[in-house]
Chain A
C-alpha cells in the first residue's frame, strides 16, 4: 500500500490544508508521497521536505501549472495512480474541483470530505450538513479521497528529510483558459485556520455596518466570517462564508453576531470549541448551540465589547 497526497499551494506558500491531508494519509498508510504541481514552486517543495515520515515529494514545475486547472492536473494523477492504493487531496475548492475527475477516469467512487480514518478502507464522513455521520467502506481497489482539513491536525514541517523527484508532464488538453483570480487580501488570520472567528449575519444590515466586526477582530486577532445571508445581501465577499456550502471552521472561539443559526450555517461552525451568540431575537436557533448567549441589540453590544476588550488589554499590559 502507498498513499499519494496532492498538495494545495499558491506556488509560494504551502496551504495548511495540505498538512492536514498528509496527517490523514499517514493514518491510512506508512508510505506517503506528496505531489506538488505548480510553477516556480520551490518554496512549497522546501517546506514539504521538513515533514517527517513522508517518503518522497514528486514535483512537476512548469509555467503551464501556474493556476490549478482541474483538466490539467487530473491527467497527472491518473498517470501516477498505478503506484498508489490511496490518492488524497484536501476537501477545499481546490481538491473538490480536481478529485472527482480523477475518480471518474479511474472508474472508482470518491470518498468525499472524510473526518476520520477507521481503517485503510473505512472512513467517517458528514452528510446532511453534518447532521448525520456516515461510516462508509469502499470496495474499490484504489481509493480517491478528499479530506476535511479542520478534522485532522496539520503535521509539523520540522525535522523531515523526504527525497525530491522532479518529473515533467505536459498539458495535452489546453482547452481551459485562465482569465483572472480575485483574492480578498487581508492582514487578519485565514478564516479556515484562525484561533478566533467573529462572523456576522443579516442582522448587521449593511456592508458599512459589517465593518464594525473588523474592529473587534483586530483586538482578538480574529478572522472575519459571515453567514450566507450576509454574503447574498452583498455585505461581504463569498470567501467569508461559513457553512454547508462555504467554509467549515473549528476555532477555539466563534462569535456569531446577528446570525439566526440556520442549519446550513451551523454545519460550518458547530464544532468550534467555544461559541458565543449575540442576537436580539431570543428565539434564534443559534442560542441552542452557544456556550454563551447574549440577547441584545448588536449595535449596542459591539461598541461595548470593543471597549471591554480594550480594558482587558490594558490590564494585561
Chain B
C-alpha cells in the first residue's frame, strides 16, 4: 500500500504575523517558514504505518513555489521515501489544490491519503474534505487516532462535543489533528540521506488543472488591537475591579 502525505510550506507558527501597510497581504519576505504543523503529524502517522508493515511507500506531495521543495525535504528527512512537487507561482485556493491532488492520486494510486486538518496560514480547513468528495472516497477529518485493519480504517475524530469514532473502507482521506501523534525530529544522517531522495516536479499546466482563483482578496487588515490593561496587586483588588469597574461578576 502507498500512503500519500500532503505538506504545505507556511509561515512558522511562532512568528508574529505582520500585515503589509498597503493591505495587500501579510509580510512573507525574510520570515521563517516551516511545515504546516498538522502536516507534520500526517507525515509521522504515515511513517508509523509503514514501520508497522502496513504500507510499503510514503510519498510526500507539496504544491507551491520552488521553495516548497524544502518542505518536501523535511518530510523526506523524517523518513518518507520520495517527493512530488507541483509548481505554482502564486497562492492557490483549496479547490484548486484538491484538483491537483486528484491528478496525483490518479498517477500514484495510493490507498491512504493523510493531510493536515487545516493550514495555519489561510485557516480554510477544506482541502481534505474536497479531495475526498472529488475522489468519491470516504473521509475521516480531525483524526486523533487512525487504526488500519485489512480493508477498513477506524478513525477517532475530534469534534466540538468530544470524540467520535467511525469505520470507513479504504481508500480513505484522513485529515490529521495535532493530537494524533508526536512528530519525530529528523536525525542528521537522515537529513543527509534525504538530499538524495527523488522529487518529481510537475506544473499545474502539465497536470491540466485550472488554478484560477474564484475569490478575490480585496484587502487584508489588522484586527483591532487590545489595549494593554493594568496589573493588580492581589486577589482582593482583582475581584473589586471585576465587580465595580468591569462589572462582569
Contacts and interface: CB of A to CB of B under 8 A. Distances in A.
Main SS at interface, chain A: mixed
Given A101-B139, A112-B125, A308-B236, A291 B95 contact: no
Interface in B199-216: 213-216
B132 A177 contact: no
Contacts of B228: 287-290
A104 B235 contact: no
Contacts of B231: 287, 292-295
Interface stretch (A51-59, A79-87, A89-97, A157-165): A89-97
Interface in B150-203: 154, 157-169, 177-179
Interface residues of A, number: 89
A303 to B, nearest CB: 9
B214 A305 contact: no
A255 to B, nearest CB: 9
Interface in A230-251: 231-232, 237-239, 244-245, 247
Interface residues of B, number: 79
Interface string B7-39: 000010110110100000010000000000010
Contact of A109 (B17, B95, B166, B230): B95
A212 to B, nearest CB: 14
A179 B167 contact: yes
A220 B243 CA distance: 12
A130 interface: yes
Interface in A281-317: 287-296, 301, 304-305, 308-309, 312
Contact of A293 (B130, B179, B213, B232): B232
B117 interface: yes
A107 B125 CA distance: 17
A192 B160 contact: yes
Across the A-B interface, the 9 shortest Cβ-Cβ residue pairs: A100-B129, A291-B229, A104-B130, A101-B133, A100-B126, A109-B214, A179-B165, A304-B235, A131-B17
Given A135-B219, A182-B163, A301-B235, 17 more contacts: A70-B139, A101-B132, A103-B126, A131-B223, A132-B221, A135-B218, A137-B215, A178-B165, A178-B166, A182-B165, A183-B161, A232-B178, A274-B242, A288-B228, A292-B229, A292-B238, A305-B235
Interface of B: 11, 13-14, 16-17, 19, 26, 38, 93-95, 98, 117-118, 120-134, 138-139, 141-142, 144, 154, 157-169, 177-179, 213-223, 226, 228-232, 234-236, 238-239, 241-243, 246, 248-249
Interface of A: 10, 67, 69-71, 74, 92-94, 96-105, 107-113, 122, 126-140, 175-184, 192, 196, 220, 228, 231-232, 237-239, 244-245, 247, 252-253, 263-264, 270, 273-276, 287-296, 301, 304-305, 308-309, 312
29 contacts: A100-B94, A101-B129, A104-B98, A109-B93, A126-B223, A127-B122, A128-B17, A128-B26, A131-B16, A132-B26, A135-B221, A137-B218, A179-B166, A181-B159, A183-B161, A232-B179, A238-B162, A252-B248, A253-B248, A276-B242, A288-B226, A290-B228, A290-B229, A292-B229, A292-B231, A294-B231, A304-B234, A308-B235, A309-B249
